[in-house]
Amino acid sequence: MSQQQQQLVIEGGKPLRGRLPASGSKNAALYTLAAALLTAEPVLLHNVPEIADIGEMGRLLRSLGARVSIEGTDVAIDASGVTELMASPEHVVALRASFLVMGPLLARRGEAGCAPPGGDVIGVRPLDVHLAGFRALGADVRREGQNFVARAASSGGSSGGGSGGGAAGRSGGADPQGGRLRGARIFLDYPSVLGTVNVLFAATLARGTTTIVNAAAEPEVAMAGEMLCAMGARVGGHGTNTITVEGVAALHGVEFRVIPDRIEGGTFLLAAVATGGDVMIEGAEPAHLDSLIAKLREAGAEVE
């Protein structure tokens, strides 16, 4: 729906029948684009939905210095040339997930800045979970003008809950002028999905071990952990309420497929049942729709 369109008019009364492919998850895809900032090596993503938010995130990454190519449902990202560490307000105003660039930039470059993001206004989704997580990892977080800015401690020090030994001298993928975060036990006041993912991103290159307690456990968070592991991160417990991260010095590139959109899939299932239709969703992940499928069967629907 374009910005000019405010409503859709549906003439109902007919059963919905047919087959359709499961689109990639919008939220999960946005997380994968942000995660590409964690490495200087190429990242290739498949099954990315062709929607406006992906284009917005692509423009944001380009404004930071990354090269982004979008061809249908494939997105290629090369963040080796990232030089800008402050996300411009003009690129974040329309997209709440834009704040996810903070964790990767802070982890890899030791500094990041972003204005409060925009996006859909659905309930209250404060940034406190993100900022408190960054502080727990040793970052100095403050408001500078319209931006939130986070800076890691100087890499020259040896303080923090790190692994010590040889790890203390590594940059964690950060530039020489940047600092490195340190592992910590972090209790999230609220199991925010975006907050969990952002803190998870930041912890991947931190010195030592990070434990995120009261983490969000949605499939999109689990997928973010799977992508990070495929890039060389040491992450455990993703998809549960306690995530453990052993920091590594750097991450490598990856070719990765975005999970199907469970919200879209569930919507079509409900539409089929409501209209007395017969719909097949190809490529859907039943495990992500367990609770909905159970309730539909309780209501008498046939779901295979």
Dihedral sign for Cα atoms in the order 201, 202, 208, 213: negative
Residues 56 and 169 in one domain: yes
- Tell me the β-bridge partners of 24: 260
* pLDDT tens track for 235-257: 999 999 999 999 999 999 999 99
- Structure tokens belonging to residue 3: 């910005």
Residues 141 and 271 in one domain: no
Q: Which 8-state DSSP code applies to residue 146?
A: T
- Structure tokens belonging to residue 145: 């003008």
Does the pLDDT value for residue 190 go beyond 90? yes
Percent of residues, the chain, with pLDDT higher than 70: 88
Give the residue from 213, 228, 248 where a domain finishes.
248
Number of domains in the chain: 2
Give the residue from 206, 228, 248 where a domain finishes.
248
Q: Which string of DSSP letters, residue by residue, matches 176-211?
A: TTS---B--EEE-SS--HHHHHHHHHHHTTSBSEEE
- What confidence score (pLDDT) does residue 11 get? 82
Mean pLDDT of 190-198: 96
- What confidence score (pLDDT) does residue 2 get? 52
Does the pLDDT value for residue 171 go beyond 70? no
Give the confidence band of 117 by pLDDT, cuts at 50, 70, 90.
confident
294 CA to centre of own chain: 28
- What confidence score (pLDDT) does residue 19 get? 94
Residues 272 and 142 in one domain: no
Cβ(91)–Cβ(115) under 8 Å?
no
- What confidence score (pLDDT) does residue 165 get? 29
Mean pLDDT for all residues in the chain: 88
Residue keyed to tokens 């569930």: 266
> How many beta carbons lie within 10 A of that of residue 234, not counting itself?
13
CA distance 10 to 12: 6
Residues 73 and 128 in one domain: yes
Higher pLDDT, 274 or 66: 66
Residue keyed to tokens 């990232």: 82
Give the confidence band of 175 by pLDDT, cuts at 50, 70, 90.
very low
Name residues whose C-beta falls within 8 Å of residue 103's C-beta, 6 or more positions apart in sequence. 34, 112, 130, 134, 197, 198, 199, 200, 201, 202
Higher pLDDT, 32 or 11: 32
Residues 93 and 235 in one domain: yes
Residues 63 and 128 in one domain: yes
- Tell me the β-bridge partners of 235: 245
Residue 284 belongs to what domain range? 260-298
Residues 275 and 172 in one domain: no
CATH number of the domain where residue 185 is located: 3.65.10.10
Give the confidence band of 7 by pLDDT, cuts at 50, 70, 90.
confident
Residues 107 and 150 in one domain: yes
Residue keyed to tokens 């929607």: 51
Residues 148 and 238 in one domain: yes
Residues 225 and 294 in one domain: no
Instruction: Assign 3-class secondary structure to 74-126.
Output: EEEEECCCCCCCEECHHHHCCCHHHHHHHHHHHHHHCEEEECCCCCCCCCCCC
Residue keyed to tokens 């986070």: 150
Q: Is residue 21 part of a domain?
A: no
- What confidence score (pLDDT) does residue 146 get? 84
- pTM here is 0.86
Q: Which 8-state DSSP code applies to residue 213?
A: E
β-pairing, 234-236 with 242-246?
Answer: antiparallel
- Structure tokens belonging to residue 266: 């569930």
Interhelix angle 52-63/26-35, nearest 10 degrees: 10
Does the pLDDT value for residue 120 go beyond 90? no
